[in-house]
Amino acid sequence: MDWRNRIGLYGAYFCGMAGIGFTLPYLPLYLRGEGFSDRAISFVSALAALVGVTQFPIGLWSDRLRRRKPFLVALLAVLALATVLLPMTHGLLLVSLLVLLVAENGVCRATVESLAGAEATQMAPPDGVGAALGALRVWRPSAIVVVALASIGLSGVLGVRGLLMPLAVVQGLAVVLALLIREEHKKPEPSQDRRKDLAAGSKGLRDATLWVFVAAMVLFHFSNAPGGVYLGLFMKQELGTSEGLLPVAFVVSMVVWMLAVQAGGRLADRIGRRPLLITAWAIMTARLLLLAVAQATWQALAIQVLDGLGQALFAVLAAAWVTDRLGDPRKAGEAQVLVGSALVFGSAVGPAVTGLVVDALGYRGTFAVLGGVGAVATLLVIGMVPETLKTGDKTREALAVSESG
């Protein structure tokens, strides 16, 4: 990847994801100020994640057109416009519609996440997919931490609503940077023999093992997402954590993610996907079970190291595995949106279901049950998800063939 594409892709991704540093700590507070009840906030958040599944046809369309830059530019422009309009808009319906666009797992950011990953994968050498995804994904937690820390300082001066205008400028910068991306459109088509090799090596969406892995990904986020939703409440109400320390748990996770994601990608290219996939799912499960027995604030903060590590490994390994499994570099968009759709679906259904039982089970009981679901998902990965990293000149040569313009 040349420097123009690095600046364009990484810069657009950084600025596009930066808004999550606002939405995670402040969007629920903002919505409550607009008259939303707790139930309405939960409903809109779940609906935003479900709408994020629309990234799947967009990813397939980008593969068919063999271009992703126009989609990235358009989605980032819509995201910037929605951020500008949000503080000017009132009324539950209109505000809810804008939230569907600006939420962390809403259609804009979820699709940008997937298409940016597809673009990075497409620009990577055939034996460097994991490293390429790691180099991209490191900018997400970096952006979130920067904006979250800046928001803490600025919120006292500008107020929560006032934070949206500077954020809109950052989102607009993402559009400008995305315009710098230079896509390659003159790469050779696979030869007839190579087409046969690719077709023989992958069943595409008819692959049963692929859908087993999709189920494992949904269960990962079904379990993990409620852990994030209820962590702050658990720490404050049961561990006696002060409000000033609550953001620290979030920052710990993001910093570990930032430090681990590139190393995880490089390691996956060396030792394979499967060992690190099992590790990621096991870490997610261990984190939930440890939270269920945590007795002090420092223990909960230490456990957040596992959250950052597990999410960092998932962010790279899941997409790399699906890319390998599909076996065709022309389906980079399809691979990424499969992962992204599983993520947003699990992240929507998990909190919705646990919201029905958390009062009866309590926070500790909820974490324990989610840990049990995570254990089932881990066993699914251990028993039914094979290694996909291939070696040998023929395979590398086949994977090296990419799209033509």
Segment 97-107 shows an average pLDDT of 88
- pLDDT tens per residue, range 162-204: 888 999 999 999 999 999 998 875 444 444 444 444 444 556 6
29-71: per-residue pLDDT in tens? 788 788 887 677 778 878 888 888 888 888 888 888 888 899 9
Same domain, 106 and 138: yes
One domain for residues 5 and 135: yes
Q: Where are the alpha helices (DSSP H) in 239-331?
A: 246-271, 274-293, 297-326
The CATH number of the domain holding residue 267 is 1.20.1250.20
Judgement on whether residues 235 and 280 belong to the same structural domain of the protein = yes
Rounded to whole angstroms, how far apart are CA atoms 105 and 221? 12
Same domain, 145 and 222: no
> Do 280 and 300 reside in the same domain of the chain?
yes
Q: Give per-residue pLDDT as tens, 111-153.
A: 998 899 888 888 877 777 778 888 888 898 888 888 888 877 7
Q: What angle do CA 264, 48, 70 make, to 5 degrees?
A: 70
Polymer length in residues for the chain: 405
**Is 104 in the same domain as 38?**
yes
In a domain, residue 405? The reply is no
Last-in-domain residue among 125, 154, 181: 181
Residue 66 counted as domain residue = yes
Cite the DSSP H helix spans in 163-245: 164-178, 192-201, 208-238
| pLDDT at position 14 | 94
For residue 11, being part of any structural domain is answered with: yes
Examine the fold and report which residue of 148, 181, 214 is the final residue of a domain before the chain moves on: 181
Same domain? For 97 and 53 the reply is yes
Average pLDDT over residues 193-221: 74
Assess whether pLDDT exceeds 50 at residue 314. Answer: yes
Overall number of domains in the chain: 2
- pLDDT for 397 equals 37
Specify the pLDDT at position 38.
65
What three-state secondary structure class fits 404?
A: strand
- Does residue 398 fall inside a structural domain? no
Q: How confident is the model at residue 186, as a pLDDT?
A: 45
pLDDT at 177: 95
Instruction: Give the pLDDT of residue 195.
Output: 47
Asked if residue 169 belongs to a domain, the reply is yes
Host domain of residue 77: 1-181
Which pTM value belongs to this model? Answer: 0.78
248/366 same-domain check: yes
Tell me: do 369 and 317 sit in the same domain: yes
- Contact yes or no for 216/381 (Cβ under 8 A): yes
Which of 319, 357, 361, 362 minimizes the C-alpha distance to 341?
A: 319
Give burial (CB, 10 Å; 0-12/13-18/19+) of 293: exposed
Q: Are residues 208 and 253 in the same domain?
A: yes
Q: Are 227 and 374 members of one domain? A: yes
